[in-house]
Structure 1
Amino acid sequence: MTEEKILNEVKKFSQAKMGDDETGHGFDHIQRVVGLADRLVKHYPEANRVVTVTAAYLHDVIDEKLVADTAQASQEVRYFLAQQGFTAAQSDMIFLIMDNMSYHKTLDGTAKPLPIEGQIVQDADRLDAIGAIGISRAIYFGGHFGEKIYDPAVKPRTEMTHAEYRNLNNETIINHFYEKLLTLKDLMNTSAAKDVAEHRQQVMLDFLAEYKAEWNAEA
């Protein structure tokens, strides 16, 4: 198959798996991450575009917070990749990316170094978590799980473990910006992503300033 035909099959597989998500990780998120990854990969000719875009399409398909049985989901993905003609080495790289790009991996220090393809997908995923889209996704995700929007008495958590990060009972939506989202700009791998992140960071800072001014009836 041609490169585009392979990626079209990957797209259909991803859409079938993620199309019903209601946590802010649905296929609209996938398509934005793919678009960003495809935009970023143009700056790095040494990167394999098919591997990069495929990993972007599949990055949430085996995510522990979205999938009940990650082992079964992983098996399905490996079988699918083999059907599309991916080599064992390419499949292993895609899984290396998916298994080590999540933010929580930076909390417990278990993340393995990512190849340039993985750095690009990780950056694309993180870019979609910040800026105007990031604001709406944070509110959507928090609302889905019944989080409190804001409580000035509840201070943002610092130096969280993986378990603490997953414990939404100790988080507010606004605190999530300080606990995670505002840290992502400085975690970008590629210079191309860093340029995009600068603007999106300011969008979030402006939102938080306005939100607190309105909360305190100052605006």
Structure 2
Amino acid sequence: MGNEETERFVQAFHAADFSGHDFAHIERVRKMALRISAAEGGDARIIELAALLHDVADNKLGGTSDSVDQYLRPRVSEQDRLHILDIINSLSFKGGDRPPMKTLEGKIVQDADRLDAIGAIGIARTFQFAGHFKEPMYVPGLAPREPGDRTGTTSALHHFDEKLFRLKDLMNTNTAKIIAEDRHQYMLDFVERFKQEWNGQ
């Protein structure tokens, strides 16, 4: 199965997305996953397919695991299909308390997806996501929500404490850990500067 077919399928799914989960996000995750794989190993074909399809199963984007399953069933072996589905279904943050990925391929795709949530791109996606879902930029004095809590008031800036600052310590591979250190520091500097400017400094 050529990846061009999968790209077209994924592009169609993400065509109308303005929440930070567009096809550009998918492309960055694929590139990063293959970069990590070049250093860490793993089956590049499984990694690439899982990276391409990972958000098609995300219910907050209108996706389902079944649609990925149906897409893969006639195109890959049973073993590969189950592996890719297991990666995709285990990928998301969900408060940061998910069981660890079972395979190197899963660890690499998870790292690539999490790296796209931090650093300069992560900052931009956070504000894009907040605007899309009509959340405020910042609410001074508001306590961050507990991990995994998607109810209650939040803001774009609160998302850093609720999720993004936790991601550095959740990376699986050494390659991703090194990249995450730099991106994490960039976010710390940004949030400090943001609060200074918010307060008129």
- Please, what is the CA RMSD of the aligned residues? 1.6
Query: CA offsets, 1:152-196, max 9 Å, x none?
Result: 2102123x3x4x2x22x4211111001100110110000000111
Provide the aligned length of Structure 1 versus Structure 2. Answer: 201
Matched, 1:205 2:183: no
- Structure 1 residue corresponding to 2:166, chosen from 183, 205, 216: 183
Who is 2:73 aligned against? 82
Query: CA offsets, 1:82-129, max 9 Å, x none?
Result: 333x1101000000000001000634x4x4633100100000000000
Gaps of 5+ in 2: none
Change (3 A) 1:180 1:105: closer
Where in structure 2 are the equivalents of 1:148-163 lying within 5 Å? 148-158=136-146, 160=147, 162=148
Runs of 4 or more, structure 1, over 6 Å off, are none
User: C-alpha separation between the residues in 2 aligned to 1:11 and 1:65?
Assistant: 21
Who is 2:48 aligned against? 53
Q: Would you say the 8 A contact 1:100–1:114 is kept in 2?
A: no
Where in structure 2 are the equivalents of 1:18-97 lying within 5 Å? 18-45=14-41, 47-67=42-62, 70=64, 74-84=65-75, 86-97=76-87
Q: Would you say the 8 A contact 1:185–1:194 is kept in 2?
A: yes
User: C-alpha separation between the residues in 2 aligned to 1:10 and 1:44?
Assistant: 24
Gaps of 5+ in 1: none
Change (3 A) 1:29 1:141: same
User: C-alpha separation between the residues in 2 aligned to 1:60 and 1:22?
Assistant: 14
After TM superposition, the score normalised by the length of structure 1 is 0.86
Who is 1:12 aligned against? 8
Cα offset, 1:33, TM superposition:
0.3
Change (3 A) 1:76 1:146: closer
Matched, 1:114 2:105: no
What is the aligned-residue identity percentage? 43
